[in-house]
Structure 1
Amino acid sequence: MPTYKHILVPVDESPISYAAVENALALANELQATVTVMSVIAVDPFIGVDFYKVAPAVTDYFMKAEEAARLRLKEIEDLFIRDNIPVNTKIIHGVSPADGIISIADEVSADLIIMGSHGRTGFKKMMLGSVAQTVLTQSPIPVLIIKM
């Protein structure tokens, strides 16, 4: 069985992210692995539209998203610290969630990604896309998908 030394756990505000965190806690404790917990502040769909970039409401939205991500990561970081598991946190901006996850995995030399999936199928998956599916198919390292 492979021994994982560095686990990446991408999170958002969903309950499934916290299920992935719980699994990462258990596995990291068992394997004495380091963990990086990360969030992606999603790509701006109106990038390049001048009026959108300067709108105070948009700036406020991204500032609030950043603050929410920081608070979420701090809360999760404290769980790992409580269990004496080495942990780092990262926030990435300006990329799609899947690209951000794969990029950070490479940056921190992760050898396993543990992430949640909503388990959408059929038409919903086609319309909404699936971050987990994209990471699973594009990642050069193993990906453990936690489903609810």
Structure 2
Amino acid sequence: MSYEHILVPVDESPISYAALKHAEELALSNKSKVTVVSVLAVDPMFGVDFYQVAPSITEYVLAAEKNAQARLNDIKTTLNAHGVTDVTTKIVREVSPATGILNTLNEIDADLIVMGSHGRKGLKKFVLGSVAQEVLGESFVPVLIVKQ
């Protein structure tokens, strides 16, 4: 099977970079387009006027977005240097990670998702949830899960 467009959600975790490596190899062998997405965590101040919140919160949100953009720029540069030339990056805000990934999937019409899974079990999974499991359950395209 050949994949034309691969969606790769990333965060700052080592497992998302391991998933990115798998996506790179698939993209090279299939000459695929790659979209790398970073979903910023749901802001607890969502719905509050951004400029009316405490300056420290505003600075935190702006720093998180700046860091995400820098990470995406580095990823794109690295993929290009390794021969994956059709790379798009995207930041999604104000939704949960799984929702941001699935919304991006619908927007870009990818035919594969490659993502990492932290492999949480038991109470940690119950409390923190599993983004990978939610994406896997809701996705209409194949999902390659790279485990820690």
Q: Specify if TM > 0.5.
A: yes
Runs of at least 5 residues in structure 1 that lack an aligned partner in the other structure: none
User: In the TM superposition, what is the alpha-carbon distance from 1:46 to its structure 2 partner?
Assistant: 3.3
**How do residues 44-123 of structure 1 correspond to structure 2 at under 5 angstroms?**
44-49=43-48, 54-85=53-84, 86-123=86-123
Runs of 4+ displaced beyond 3 Å: 48-53
Between the two proteins, the alignment pairs up a number of residues equal to 147
Is the alpha carbon distance of 1:49 and 1:89 closer, same or farther for their aligned partners in structure 2, counting shifts above 3 Å?
closer
User: In the TM superposition, what is the alpha-carbon distance from 1:53 to its structure 2 partner?
Assistant: 5.2
User: In the TM superposition, what is the alpha-carbon distance from 1:60 to its structure 2 partner?
Assistant: 0.3
In 2, Cα distance between equivalents of 1:66 and 1:50? 17
Larger CA deviation: 51-60 vs 30-39: 51-60
Normalised by the size of structure 1, how large is the TM-score? 0.94
Larger CA deviation: 76-85 vs 52-61: 52-61
Q: Do the aligned residues in 2 keep the contact of 1:52 with 1:58 (CA within 8 Å)?
A: no
Match of 1:146 in 2: 146
Match of 2:15 in 1: 16
Is the alpha carbon distance of 1:67 and 1:34 closer, same or farther for their aligned partners in structure 2, counting shifts above 3 Å?
same
Q: Do the aligned residues in 1 keep the contact of 2:51 with 2:58 (CA within 8 Å)?
A: no
Q: What is the RMSD of the two structures over their aligned residues, measured on CA atoms?
A: 1.5
Identity of aligned residues (%): 56
